[in-house]
């Protein structure tokens, strides 16, 4: 099983894994990149339930409080605070001791080489794999500095050791707009997702009277230099993902649109998990009906 990079959209990987298990599939190996490394690592460590409970109970303010902002030009978030908080929920362990084979990738930005983690500290590997350029500061590990593995290999199918005698399932959460679906309002148990509190809704209504949408639309829309760089990187990554997927004999593909959530919208965890579940149901129905 391969889990792509994608920031907060990568939380959809949780729903994908849960649905696969509900349908009786056994995950024999996981390769992940960035957010895929985080979710895949939690699952391989047997701590998916604890991780899900923690991430789904974070609201906007909680997420903001876990962002240790800095004025460094190397990234505006240090990235240590959130992992220290998660370590209180799920303790660090050695990758080679995990219940199933797990690997993830990062990039040594000085040499430009892809580095694959198959042993050592799980959190060190996850932190290195998820160091999104310009957002998180590079991760230091063994005298090296790493950035997000998605720079070179966002869908790390190449890390899977044996995909000839097993189903190769790939989850890609940086898909085109055509894969966008309306966000669900309830989870699998029928519980409503968190909504904006009434005081915040009232505030937004009041503010809209001072800053009406019509006035905003009169101004020509344009991208800032940072947004332009980000958009350009997204386009390059989207095309690269497609080329990687075409290179390997993928048995089942779960694709989720980049529009579903922003990179740092981790407060939408429950929603993204449910989207991952819905998308996997559709993909499994196609796979199983096609094999009959």
The answer to whether the CB of 283 falls within 8 A of the CB of 251 is: no
CA angle 117, 118, 119 (to 5 degrees): 100
Separation between Cα atoms, residue 36 and residue 14, nearest integer Å = 9
In this prediction, residue 188 carries a pLDDT of 64
In this prediction, residue 215 carries a pLDDT of 41
Tell me the β-bridge partners of 134: 75
Separation between Cα atoms, residue 110 and residue 150, nearest integer Å = 16
- 148 catalytic, yes or no? yes
Q: Where are the beta strands (DSSP E) in the chain?
A: 2-3, 30-33, 75-77, 102-108, 113-117, 134-136, 139-141, 144-148, 169-175, 252-257
In this prediction, residue 80 carries a pLDDT of 92
In this prediction, residue 219 carries a pLDDT of 47
Separation between Cα atoms, residue 151 and residue 158, nearest integer Å = 15
Element (H, E) at 81: helix 80-87
Report residue 124: phi and psi, to 5°. Answer: -60, -40
- Residue in 4, 34, 131, 257 annotated catalytic: 34
- Residue in 4, 5, 131, 148 annotated catalytic: 148
Q: What is the pLDDT along the chain (292 residues), one digit of tens a residue?
A: 999 999 999 999 999 999 999 999 999 999 999 999 999 999 999 999 999 999 999 999 999 999 988 887 777 888 899 999 999 999 999 999 999 999 999 999 999 999 999 999 999 999 999 998 888 999 998 889 999 999 999 999 999 987 778 899 999 999 988 999 998 876 666 566 555 455 445 545 555 554 444 444 444 456 666 677 767 777 777 788 888 888 888 999 999 999 999 989 999 999 999 999 999 999 999 999 876 5
């Amino acid at each position: 099983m391969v889990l792509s990079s994608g920031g907060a959209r990568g939380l959809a990987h949780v729903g994908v894994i849960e649905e696969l298990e509900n349908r009786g599939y056994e995950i024999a190996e996981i390769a992940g990149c960035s957010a895929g490394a985080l979710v895949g690592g939690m699952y391989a460590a047997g701590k998916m339930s604890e991780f899900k409970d923690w991430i789904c109970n974070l609201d906007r303010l909680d997420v903001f409080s876990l962002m240790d902002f800095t004025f460094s030009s190397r990234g505006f978030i240090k990235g240590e605070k959130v992992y220290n908080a998660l370590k209180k929920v799920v303790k660090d362990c050695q990758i080679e001791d995990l219940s199933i084979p797990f690997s993830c990738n990062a990039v040594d930005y000085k040499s430009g080489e892809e580095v694959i983690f198959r042993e050592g500290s799980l959190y060190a590997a996850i932190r290195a794999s998820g160091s999104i350029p310009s957002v998180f500061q590079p991760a230091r590990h063994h005298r090296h500095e790493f950035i997000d593995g998605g720079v070179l290999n966002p869908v790390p199918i190449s890390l899977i050791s044996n995909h000839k005698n097993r189903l190769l399932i790939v989850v890609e959460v940086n898909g085109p707009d055509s894969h966008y679906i309306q966000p669900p309002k309830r989870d699998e148990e029928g519980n409503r997702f968190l909504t904006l509190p009434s005081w915040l809704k009232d505030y937004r209504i009041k503010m809209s009277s001072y800053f009406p949408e019509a006035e905003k639309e009169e101004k020509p829309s344009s991208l800032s230099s940072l947004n332009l760089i980000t958009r350009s990187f997204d386009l390059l990554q989207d095309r690269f993902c497609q080329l990687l997927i075409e290179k390997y004999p993928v048995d089942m593909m779960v694709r989720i649109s980049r529009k579903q959530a922003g990179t740092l919208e981790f407060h939408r965890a429950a929603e993204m998990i449910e989207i991952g579940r819905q998308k996997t149901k559709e993909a499994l129905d196609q796979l199983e009906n096609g094999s009959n």
